[in-house]
Structure 1
Amino acid sequence: MLRLRERIVSHLLSSSSTSAPAISPLHRLLSAAAAAAPVSPNPSSFAVEEYLVDTCGLTRPQALKASKKLSHLKSPAKPDAVLAFLSGLGLSGADAAAVVAKDPLFLCAKVDKTLAPVVAGLTGLGLSRPDIARFVSLAGSRFRYTSVVSKMHYYLPLFGSLDSILRALRRSSYLLSSDLDKVINPNVVFLRECGLADCDIAKLCVCEPRLLGYKPERVRAMVACAERLGVRRGSGMFRVALQAVAFLSEEKIAAKVDHLKKAFSWSDAEVVAALSMAPMLLKRSKDTLWHRFEFLVSEVGLEPGYIAHRPVMLYYSLEGRLKPRYYALKFLKENGLLDHDWNFYTAVTRSEKYFMKKCICPHQEAAPNLAEDYAAACRGEMPSNFRFT
């Protein structure tokens, strides 16, 4: 791999010093790929697995797996050209190895007829070479199809930035593998009709990138399910509700709802109230929710109905948020250090910066160890000089 890169760099440097200014960067990229692709003097002796290890940088297990898809190769000419092309885009050896390990057939792509036109198309959309290098690392096999350009042309204004698209692609490649006209666009149009702005659709896809790639009738069923939770279309919570019910069957949702009713002693109306304000409760584990609920009831002294109408409290970490703030608030009240009546809900829902500013920092003289003890409590420790009782 090192020798190949030395040839590439040497060629690029000589090309940039002797070429006329009219020669495009893409042309130089193609020239570099061609110049760095030697033909094996003895094609029949080409060992694919060794090439993948020695030249591409794959591990032996990766190479063994990848070589099964490349057994037809008789020469390193085409793989060398592809590696040179990736190097010209700015991919490191490790990045190129990751691309090949993920999609071994990438080494068989035609530089002039496939890869170069894709790069030219993406450049036309305003992507820089570093942008394209980041994109190819995540796009994998979809980069070998010129249709990826039209999809990126569609996604860039929808998502608002390449970074948002890449965040979605890190989770799933559905955005690039699904049919744009028959699946993606109908789903986007429908979600817009449901009151979601493009920025909301983008946020939804970053969290659940598979959603746009599902059949439109399935997406419509998800919307109907979100509405049955008591979240109306167009409301600020509708996107979150869609994220909560995505890919959950009606049976699983019904089981979750039934569990909330029985475990928390909530009525039907209280369950609807809770899920309409905090639909992501459907994604939390039963044990996690129960431990938080039990603490709020038995230790803090809150009523189940009170929690149902302030369900966001169940989102917060028991050890990292609920307990430390409760004990800090209790300490302050018992020692007369609060100048107004802070309730627990107010204390637990404020940002850490705000809580520190209002409840911890003002009492440094009266309680010099409070900040240190609170920090220890947030780490799950029990400071000996923090008065919990």
Structure 2
Amino acid sequence: MASASMAWRNLLSLAQKRFFNTAVTLPTASSSFTAEHLIKTCGLPLQPALSVSKKFQIDENNLQNSQAVVGFLKSHHFKDAHIAKMIQKCPAVLRCKVEDNLEPKFDFLIKNGFEGQLLPQLLMSDPRILVCKLDTRIKPCLELLKPFLGSNENIIVVLKRASWLFTYSFKSCVQPNIDFLVKEGLPLDKLAKLLMSYPRTILIKHDRMVSAANYLRNLGLEPQAPMFIHAYRVMVQLSEPTWKKKIEAWKNVGWSEGEILGTFKRFPFLLSCSEEKIVCMMDFFVNTVKLGHQTITANPSIFKYSFDKRIYPRYNVLKVLESKKLIRDRKTATFLKISEEKFMENYITKYEDKVPGLLEIYGSIRKTKGL
């Protein structure tokens, strides 16, 4: 046994020299033992185990706790891959006390709808949940979300997407923002949609949230409006200098400020476009496709599509069909906006017998342009 253990540690030492810069101080015997334990007990691959062992140590004389944690996770149907991923992300989980820490949290989460594979999925997404306090982090999170989201299914949607919500102080950070939006008149179904679609937007500084809501009101966009949460999301994700740069970028391609803000109210994604995309797409629509300015401003959704994957391939199909005199009086904006299913049905399948290889032309252009 002693010789086998020595051989193992020699292997670890060799691997450490290969994987890490030799200028760095070589790991201690304690870190070598930790790596060995992480590999054998927790299922981590060699390199991640070595990496974790540089910043996290396991006491060689007190293995019972980490072994109990692994056993507890397995008893709740966590697979080896689940456990390895969790420990790699948050090795401090191995220091949790099963009876005092893990059991109450698991009981609470299971009671609130995290059953079956939902529990491993949640905890793998952010295992720091298990080192958060149950009474001051986890419970307030669920208790605050449930009245707005209504069902465990909706809560699961949010927490699977943003499990890090458990790690924030709800009373000092999240609750004031939610209370403000409710007070401003945001309908509960819109708040639920905001939480499920853009959960990070409720974590911004309160002053910034108030400023964004006031700006949108001044534009005439009330919290009850269908586009409010989308416009709000765009605003809070952009710094003030970036917001101004986006406005200037649209002005530089011929839009007035009134057109920009008016379009933003009904299509907030307009100000999410990069400056490069704004310039390139406008150049293509104006100089190649020959769309008029009014047509472009009336159809802002064309800017949400990928040039490589949608705009350019469809435009080339349009040109082929026009050259064969198969379509006339085209409405290019509509041509670009219809669903892929409708596009295939109305312009590829419909004319493929008259234009042999049309599907291949469409597919090859999309592939060449980056698909």
User: Smaller-chain TM-score range?
Assistant: 0.7 to 0.9
CA distance in 2, matches of 1:127, 1:113: 20
Report the equivalent of 2:313.
324
Match in the other structure for 2:181 = 191
Judged with a 3 Å threshold, the aligned counterparts in structure 2 of structure 1 residues 239 and 171 are, in CA distance, closer, same or farther, namely same
- Provide closer, same or farther for how the CA distance between residues 195 and 322 of structure 1 changes in structure 2, counting only shifts above 3 A: farther
Say yes or no: does 1:351 pair with 2:339.
yes
Equivalence for 1:364: 352
- Say if 1:118 and 1:149, in contact at 8 Å, map to a contact too: no
| Cα distance in 2, alignment partners of residues 84 and 157 from structure 1 | 35
Distance between the aligned counterparts of 2:257 and 2:47, measured in 1?
55
Structure 1: distance between partners of 2:159 and 2:109: 16
- Residue in structure 2 matched with residue 110 of structure 1 by the alignment: 97
1:170–1:129: structure 2 CA closer, same or farther, 3 Å change rule? closer
Is residue 130 from structure 1 mapped to residue 120 from structure 2 by the alignment?
no
Residue 324 (structure 2) aligns with: 335
Matched residues in 2 for 1:121 and 1:373: separation?
56
In the alignment, structure 1 residue 140 sits paired with structure 2 residue 127: yes
| Offset at residue 250 of structure 1 (A) | 1.3
Percentage identity across aligned positions? Answer: 27
1:379 to 356, 367, 370: 367
**Match status 1:57 vs 2:57:** no
- Matched pairs, number: 336
Q: Does structure 1 conserve the Cα–Cα contact (< 8 Å) formed by 2:86 and 2:124? A: yes
The Cα shift of 1:206 comes to: 4.5
1:244 to 228, 234, 240: 234
- Retained in 1: the 8 A contact 2:122–2:163? no
Distance between the aligned counterparts of 2:64 and 2:51, measured in 1? Answer: 21
Q: CA RMSD in A?
A: 2.9
Q: Which residue of 2 aligns with 1:70?
A: 57
1:115–1:143 CA contact under 8 A, matched in 2? yes
CA distance in 2, matches of 1:230, 1:221: 14
CA distances 1:311-334 after superposition (whole Å, capped 9, x unpaired)? 211211212211222232233344
Q: Is the 8 A contact 2:126 2:164 kept in 1?
A: no
Match among 163, 168, 191 for residue 201 of structure 1? 191
User: Distance in 2 between the 1:170 and 1:47 partners?
Assistant: 34
Match of 2:88 in 1: 101
| CA displacement at 1:168 relative to structure 2 | 4.9
Distance, in Å, in 1 between the alignment partners of 2:32 and 2:353 is 77
- Write the mapping of 1:281-292 to structure 2, written as runs, cut at 5 A: 281-292=270-281
Deviation of 1:241 (Å):
1.0
| 5+ residue gaps, structure 1 | 1-43, 382-389
One-letter code aligned to 1:82: V
Residue 117 of structure 1 deviates from its aligned partner by: 0.9
CA distance in structure 1 between the aligned counterparts of 2:71 and 2:229, rounded to whole angstroms: 44
TM-score by length of 2: 0.79
Other structure's SS at 1:363 match: coil
Change (3 A) 1:306 1:354: same
Is 1:194–1:234's contact at 8 Å kept on the other side of the alignment? no
Whichever residue aligns with residue 358 of structure 2, its letter is: L
Give the Cα separation in 2 of the matches to 1:228 and 1:379.
45
